[in-house]
Copies of this chain bind each other. A is one copy, B any other.
């Protein structure tokens, strides 16, 4: 009783032709009188225009394919929030595919989406390979990347290098000379290479006495926790986690061993997760607005779809969030009374 009523039924009931109903549904050119009759007929029948028939004609799906590395991640959630915030008002809907952190699955998903006839594809990638590039170019619909960059495809991402530099400059200014960077695999160009390199550059530049050790760990805090001892042995005055999760794992390790932060050693992270504010001491970090990344990406996609000149301002702001986990070595005392959550806001 639902999908059974078509434009034809409405037309008959209203005593007009199918085209008139179609016009009513779309643009204009309908007399007020018939307009009213059609309106009533639609109401009576409970008519719903058939999505697929419509798309078959118009060649537009109003659907955007979204390829994600995983679902259960805070950053992915924020990204999606941003995307749907832009897409929805524009009349687009997202269709979701998960790649399980595999570049291969990512390719497969993109290919799949291309067949489905979506209007565009948004890929939050784990790494853009040559195959990705080729695939994106072979199709007729736009493919836009986030999270990673590649000169031959459109992308939106935060500036990991700049984030690294920002942190490097800060710690340097706080008088630190020996840091240990707890990072991730270099196969992740964005986090594994750029973020680290940016930090090292800004931290050591023109300071032969400055030194950065490197320890590789995973993305989750448990694997970081397990590197705790190794990190401690470096004897650095500050630990730089490549993500807040990593820093949290190390913080926990230190806490259990009675190592005081920031009195004995400082700890910082990247990401600006809410959790960082709850732990004790609250984590100093560089915060990324992933929701904004999602919004920018979605907007970029809409521009692409409309063939409009793309706003080239793809700079994602970075926020330095200074909390309690860094000691200022320029003073001869550690901070005595920690700030409260309200003060920190």
Question: A residues engaging B (CB < 8 A)?
Answer: 1-3, 48-53, 55-56, 59, 61, 63, 66, 70-74, 76-78, 80-81, 84, 88, 93-98, 114-117, 138-141, 221-222, 225, 248-249, 251-253, 255-256, 274-275, 277-280, 291, 338, 340-342, 345
Contacts and interface: CB of A to CB of B under 8 A. Distances in A.
A52 to B, nearest CB: 4
Nearest to A294: B71
29 contacts: A2-B139, A3-B59, A3-B140, A50-B117, A51-B116, A51-B117, A52-B52, A52-B61, A53-B56, A63-B95, A71-B81, A71-B84, A72-B77, A72-B78, A72-B291, A73-B77, A74-B77, A93-B96, A225-B342, A248-B278, A249-B278, A251-B278, A252-B280, A252-B341, A255-B280, A256-B338, A256-B341, A279-B280, A280-B280
A98 B81 contact: yes
Contact of A72 (B1, B51, B74, B279): B74
Contacts of A291: 72
B77 A274 contact: no
A249 B225 CA distance: 23
A71 B63 contact: no
Contacts of A342: 225
A274 B341 CA distance: 21
A233 to B, nearest CB: 18
B275 A52 contact: no
Identical chains bound together, number: 2
Nearest to A281: B255
A81 B255 CA distance: 32
Contacts of A97: 84, 88, 93
Given A73-B77, A81-B98, 5 more contacts: A2-B141, A51-B116, A51-B117, A52-B55, A84-B98
Given A115-B48, A278-B275, A94 B95 contact: yes
Nearest to A50: B117
B72 A81 contact: yes
A76 B1 CA distance: 33
Contacts of A1: 140
Contacts of A274: 221
Contacts of A256: 338, 340-341
A84 B96 CA distance: 9
A87 B249 CA distance: 33
Nearest to A112: B93
Contacts of A76: 77
A3 B256 CA distance: 60
Nearest to A345: B222
Contacts of A139: 2
Q: Chain B CB within 10 Å — which of A56, A63, A141 has the most?
A: A56
B94 A96 contact: yes
A110 to B, nearest CB: 13
Nearest to A83: B71
